[in-house]
Amino acid sequence: MVDRIETRVVHAGEPEPRIEGSVRMPIFQSAMFEYSGETESETLAYIRLNNTPNQTVLGRKLADLEGGDAALVCASGMSAISSTLFTLLAPGDHLMVQDCLYGGTHDLLTRDLPRLGIELSRIDSSDPGSWEAALRPQTKAIYVETISNPLMHVCELEAIAEFARSRGLVSLVDNTFASPINFRPFEWGFDVSLHSATKYLNGHSDIVAGVVIGSAEQVEQIRHTANRFGGTLDPHTCFLLHRGLATLALRVGRQNSNALALARFLEQNPAVARVSYPGLESHPQHALASRLLDGFGGMLNVELEGGLESARAFMRRIRIPVKAPSLGGVESLVTRPATTSHAGMSPEERARAGIGDGLIRISVGIEAIEDLTADFGQALAG
């Protein structure tokens, strides 16, 4: 019998028997571990080699939650992403990527891969015709995000995984925005799932961590790359991530319902020009999102009537959400992508990408929904 994910976030992957009976996984704060007699270097346990107890227990739990064979925890989401891409790709290879990706990933792809002779093509993740056109004999892999930032575009996930399989490509998805509560990539045919565990997996805005999940063989290869690059998660941070994970289903369930209620509330407000949230019938990929996702997530964004001036006034008046970047924590956060995550783009580039000056990105937390709607209502009335 397979338990439901709400049960598995608590119990899956825990040591059996429990270590000294300890109900919670103890922190093994030791850089290296003693062995008896001669041993293969492969079996040496050392924190940088990603094979000490806190790292391996966490890997078992995360692999179980997404239904992958194995998982590796890394020092950050970018460490997971870079270790994976540098394992899969070699000079001369070609990679197909979704056109709008997380900024750090975009920078890695455009600054570091070309120097190594790896070529890129951008594809429209909603237009299968563009995928065939981008395919080359050298194409090795295809890389997408479950829900893109900041416009909340939902990718044709099942079709992308199927396309990759039929063309012999490795399919990779950054599943950070959905978390395994809302989307499990292996059930839809993906080969590799990546996360910034900094966000929903940990959920308390107090650590930076990453995860890569895939087949045992793939994860083992990626672990060797990560061992050489050195982006390892230390045991104490593993402990914090492990603790955060225990409440993942509760938190994300609440964030799903809060975000849907807030999106519906904002859609009715005359000061709001547009709300982007995959759970709204007005979202262009609502039908697709309803089929693929178990919940629509905690991220949404609004474009205010009156552009820049209204956005500034809103940011001054809003009281409960913290004005900070990042996402996925228990507290609601608001940012203006034009001045934070996408400030590096020119105003014309932003306009082309659909990121107006009046765009506000919201990471919805676990607060009482009545307090959030009241606060957004008063901030918009100003």
Q: Which residues are catalytic?
A: 48, 102, 174, 199
297 three-state secondary structure: coil
CA distance 38 to 220: 23
The least distance separating ligand PLP from the CB of residue 144, rounded to whole angstroms, comes to 11
CA distance 345 to 100: 13
Element (H or E) spanning 225, and its range?
A: helix 216-229
240 three-state secondary structure: helix
The least distance separating ligand PLP from the CB of residue 363, rounded to whole angstroms, comes to 10
CA distance 254 to 181: 11
Element (H or E) spanning 276, and its range?
A: strand 272-276
What are the structure tokens assigned to 54, written together?
Answer: 């806190």
Farthest CA pair distance, the chain: 74
191 three-state secondary structure: coil
373 three-state secondary structure: helix
Candidates 156, 189, 172, 180; CA nearest to 285 is 156
CA distance 143 to 85: 10
What are the structure tokens assigned to 309, written together?
Answer: 């001036």
CA distance 144 to 193: 10
The number of angstroms, rounded, from the C-alpha of 134 to the middle of its chain's C-alpha atoms is 25
The least distance separating ligand PLP from the CB of residue 210, rounded to whole angstroms, comes to 5
Residue placing its CB nearer to ligand PLP in the complex, 139 or 175: 175
Sign of CA dihedral 129, 133, 134, 135: positive
Candidates 68, 17, 273; CA nearest to 188 is 68
Binding positions for ligand PLP, rule: CB under 6 A: 76-78, 102, 104-105, 145, 149, 174, 176-177, 196, 198-199, 208, 210
What are the structure tokens assigned to 345, written together?
Answer: 């783009």
- Count CA atoms within 13 Å of residue 199 on its CB side: 25
Pairing label, strands 333-335, 272-276: unpaired
Instruction: Report the amino acid identity of residue 77.
Output: G
303 three-state secondary structure: strand
163 three-state secondary structure: helix
The least distance separating ligand PLP from the CB of residue 323, rounded to whole angstroms, comes to 18
